[in-house]
Amino acid sequence: MPKAALTEPSPRPVRIARGGWLDALRFIVGALIILYHFREASPVPLPQLHPVFERGYLLTDFFIIDSGYVLARIYGDRFAAGQASLRSYSRQRLLRVVPAHLVVSLILIALVGGAALAGIAPSNPRWFDWSQLSAQVLLVQAYGVPGGQGWNAPTWTLSALIGCYLLLPWISRALWRWPPLVVVIGATVLVLAADVAASLWLGDPIYRLPMRYGILRALPLFLLGVAAAFYGSRVYVGPRLAGAIGVAAAVALVLFQAFGAFSLLSLGLMTVIIWAAGAVPVRSPSRLIEHLALMSFSMFLTNEVSRIVWFGLLDALGQESWSSGVRWALWAVGLVGAFVAAAVFRYGFDRPVQTWLNPPRVNGTAPDPATTPQASGAVVPTEHAG
């Protein structure tokens, strides 16, 4: 055997990067979540066309798994080696979420409160119960604290994921000592066991527990993403093979959803898709895809407010008496408007505020890797479907 062959290093898994398939998936799923939120406002409710439109909980679960994967790829090795500042990491994660959440909450409160002062009642008053608001604003609704229903209800995922984010350093230290395949098998068994326990004791499967059990729903799925990240950072799979596996998993997911929920199997397929997207090198990063992915956090925060404002206005104008064609056109305008509003919020508020809060250097520490162009950032998942 030639000497060069003996000394040639083994291929290493690629580092994740912005502008590739991971970012594309984030935007695509974020767009589907907006469609899910608008499903009942269409002239013919979309679930009447196909039951897949009632499975938004799978989109939420995708983002939870994706967040575990991306954050573990960025921070896992450093946490396991004790090389990352826990204080800096916690600060970065909280500042990424809290300012934008509070501003959107205040906007919604001002809109609902202003309408009430003007004598205009919302179309669905039960979704604007003031007693539900404090738990949501404080992001504690995923920990059994009463409240959080209505208003910008999808923020329960922020509440649950903050807990997952803060646990990641200890999760990494515990898991990084085991073989990657053992970690993946263990995370899979945990999800299955958690599903059985949730169904028996709480009356709902793990993948669609209500918001008061949000942390119990999110943590096993987050760990599944972390396990996929650990495997992806340690086990090399050729880009062509990884891409083929990812495409096959995506095709299988679509086919299964055409005939039924197959929720647990779908969770596994989504994890494979995320892993495959991270295993394919980004040879020609797309700035457009990067910006669309970065906008997905704003899409999550603002789409419910956009829906409430637009369809509340149409209801006040008496849309029920309008023709079906006009209503479909206005529904489509509202759907597009949700993306426009998200872009305005992203570039008018969220981006400049994050640049100010997380500048290139903060007290001598490095910037947040999840917000730099070189790394695929952990944009917060979206929405609650049930």
| pLDDT tens readout for residues 331-350 | 999 999 999 999 999 999 99
Burial class (CB in 10 A: 0-12, 13-18, 19+), 38: buried
Q: What angle do CA 13, 167, 303 make, to 5 degrees?
A: 85
Ranges of H-type helices in 235-286: 239-259, 263-279
Inside any domain, residue 32: yes
Report DSSP state, residue 362.
B
Tokens standing for residue 243: 């891409």
Q: How confident is the model at residue 117 (pLDDT cuts 50, 70, 90)?
A: confident
Q: How confident is the model at residue 373 (pLDDT cuts 50, 70, 90)?
A: very low
End-to-end CA distance of the chain: 60
Inside any domain, residue 220: yes
Give me the pLDDT at residue 137, please. 97
Span 368-375, average pLDDT: 39
Span 327-331, average pLDDT: 97
With 50 as the cut, is the pLDDT of residue 383 above it?
no
Give me the pLDDT at residue 368, please. 43
Using DSSP, state whether 365 is helix, strand or coil.
strand
Contacts by 84-93 with C-beta closer than 8 Å and gap 24+?
A: 84/169, 85/365, 86/169, 88/362, 88/365, 89/169, 90/165, 90/166, 92/358, 92/368, 92/370, 93/162, 93/165, 93/166
Give me the pLDDT at residue 9, please. 67
Q: What is the Cα gyration radius of the chain?
A: 21
**Pseudo-torsion of CA 59, 60, 66, 67, nearest 10°?**
160
**Beta-ladder partners of 362:** 365
Residue 61 and residue 23: Cα distance in Å, rounded?
Answer: 17
Cβ neighbours around 130 below 10 Å, total: 12
The rounded Cα 141 to chain-centroid distance in angstroms is 17
Give me the pLDDT at residue 379, please. 39
Residues 298 and 350: beta-carbon distance below 8 Å: yes
Residue 327 and residue 335: Cα distance in Å, rounded?
Answer: 12
Inside any domain, residue 379: no
Q: What is the mean pLDDT of the chain?
A: 90
Which domain range does residue 191 map to?
Answer: 3-371
**How many folded domains does the chain comprise?**
1
Inside any domain, residue 376: no
pLDDT in tens, 263-296: 999 999 999 999 999 999 999 999 999 999 999 9
Cβ neighbours around 159 below 10 Å, total: 24
Cβ neighbours around 224 below 10 Å, total: 25
Amino acid letter, 224 = L
Residue 188 and residue 316: Cα distance in Å, rounded?
Answer: 49
Close Cβ partners of 166 (under 8 Å, ≥ 6 residues apart): 90, 93
Inside any domain, residue 145: yes
Inside any domain, residue 209: yes
Inside any domain, residue 51: yes
Residues 140 and 64: beta-carbon distance below 8 Å: no
Span 76-92, average pLDDT: 94
Residue 191 and residue 72: Cα distance in Å, rounded?
Answer: 18
Tokens standing for residue 196: 């059985």
Residues 173 and 79: beta-carbon distance below 8 Å: yes
Span 87-91, average pLDDT: 94
- Please tell me the total number of residues recorded for the chain in this structure: 386
Measured CA distances, 12 to 76, 175, 193, 239 (Å): 17, 20, 33, 11
Rounded (to 5) percent helix, strand, coil in the chain: 75, 0, 25
Tokens standing for residue 238: 């050729």
Inside any domain, residue 23: yes
